[in-house]
Amino acid sequence: MPLDHEIEVWDPSGSSYIWFRAPSLPANSTTSFYLYYYNPTGSCAQSPTTLWDSSFRAVWHLNDDPASANLIDSKNGNSAVPYNGPVSMTGTPTVRGVQFDGVNDYLQAPDSVSLRVGSDLTLETIVYFNAVFAQASYLIEKGLTDNDNYALFATKDGFTTCAPVAYCLNLELKDTTNTYVYYPETAQVIPFAGWAHLATVFNDTANTLTFYIDGTAVQTVAMTNALKSSWPHPLTIGMQNFAGSPFNLNGKLDEVRISAAARSADWIRATYLNLLMPVGFISYGSAEAY
């Protein structure tokens, strides 16, 4: 059965990178998939919009060069415009990503219905912090001047209450009663050595917010605030959309994903393994004749 797939990078003389949608991945068993290639009469059958399930609101691979093009999300076509020179880079876990200078560069996509989320929410990305920061470092924000539908960011203790850890992950929003709130994760310090997968999952039915670091749920807290999806503001990557307090990211980003779903712990774990720890999670057989 052909599987939905998306070609992120195709290099006939080198390494190619393709996303595909597995129908299921049963625990404690091996599932085999086959890639057919080298058919000179074949046509391109990739289907990015159906590859990513209906709960995805945006999937940015960040594989285009922001010096020459906007960065388009694969699910709904949201176009992230580069400002002040974020730089394309190679050598990320999925080949290409974007480097931010921590001064004034960022990406920004206009407000759209697809980016507005009013109930369950999962925010995730992989990040490499170039250095520790003095106060905060914003990764994803849908909002303006703290009128946020949602925002994922990291802080130093004292800017938000991270104690007993020194640096922590946070979710920020202004809810349907126009109350501004933020939720810090206080159980595990965010990594500064190498790439890290960071995620938050809000379960609107259970009224819980779970923080994940490198595929592991490190803390779950109660969250009764309702997301206000009607905020008509853009989505910013690598900076807070707040004049005078931008808290730009000094680091690298790859794979920014937004879902209107409360992804399961197994889902987050599999995503982390696929992105950052593929050895043992994925193995490749030798080429066979067709």
**pLDDT per residue as tens digits for the range 206-234:** 999 999 999 999 999 999 999 999 999 99
Give mean pLDDT, residues 141-145. 98
pLDDT at site 128:
98
How big is the chain by its Cα radius of gyration, in Å? 19
Cut 0.85: pTM above it = yes
Query: How would residue 155 be classed by pLDDT, with cut points 50, 70 and 90?
Result: very high
Residue 137 clears pLDDT 80, i.e. is over it: yes
3-state percent breakdown (helix, strand, coil) of the chain, nearest 5: 5, 40, 55
Query: How would residue 268 be classed by pLDDT, with cut points 50, 70 and 90?
Result: very high
pLDDT at site 11:
84
- Bridge partners, residue 81, by sequence: 108
Query: How would residue 289 be classed by pLDDT, with cut points 50, 70 and 90?
Result: confident
pLDDT at site 215:
97
Q: Residue 179 has what DSSP assignment?
A: -
Work out the mean pLDDT of the chain and round it to a whole number: 94
User: Distance between CA atoms of 277 and 225, rounded to whole angstroms?
Assistant: 34
Give every CB contact of residue 31 below 8 A, 6+ residues apart in sequence. 22, 24, 25
Residue 115 clears pLDDT 80, i.e. is over it: yes
Q: Residue 60 has what DSSP assignment?
A: E
User: Distance between CA atoms of 106 and 110, rounded to whole angstroms?
Assistant: 13
Give mean pLDDT, residues 266-287. 92
Q: Which CB contacts under 8 angstroms, 24+ apart, belong to 179-183?
A: 179/225, 180/146, 180/148, 181/225, 183/209, 183/221, 183/223
Query: How would residue 280 be classed by pLDDT, with cut points 50, 70 and 90?
Result: confident
Residue 161 clears pLDDT 90, i.e. is over it: yes
C-beta of residue 238 within 8 angstroms of C-beta of residue 100 = yes
C-beta of residue 124 within 8 angstroms of C-beta of residue 198 = yes
Residues above pLDDT 70, as percent of the chain: 100
pLDDT at site 39:
82
Residue 1 clears pLDDT 80, i.e. is over it: no
Q: Which domains are present in the chain? A: 1-23+30-51 (no CATH), 54-276 (2.60.120.200)
User: Distance between CA atoms of 180 and 276, rounded to whole angstroms?
Assistant: 34
Better pLDDT: 235 or 283? 235
Encode pLDDT of 4-52 as tens digits.
999 998 888 888 889 999 888 888 888 999 888 888 888 888 899 899 9
Better pLDDT: 99 or 36? 99
pLDDT at site 21:
92
Structure tokens at 223: 């969250």
User: Distance between CA atoms of 56 and 33, rounded to whole angstroms?
Assistant: 23
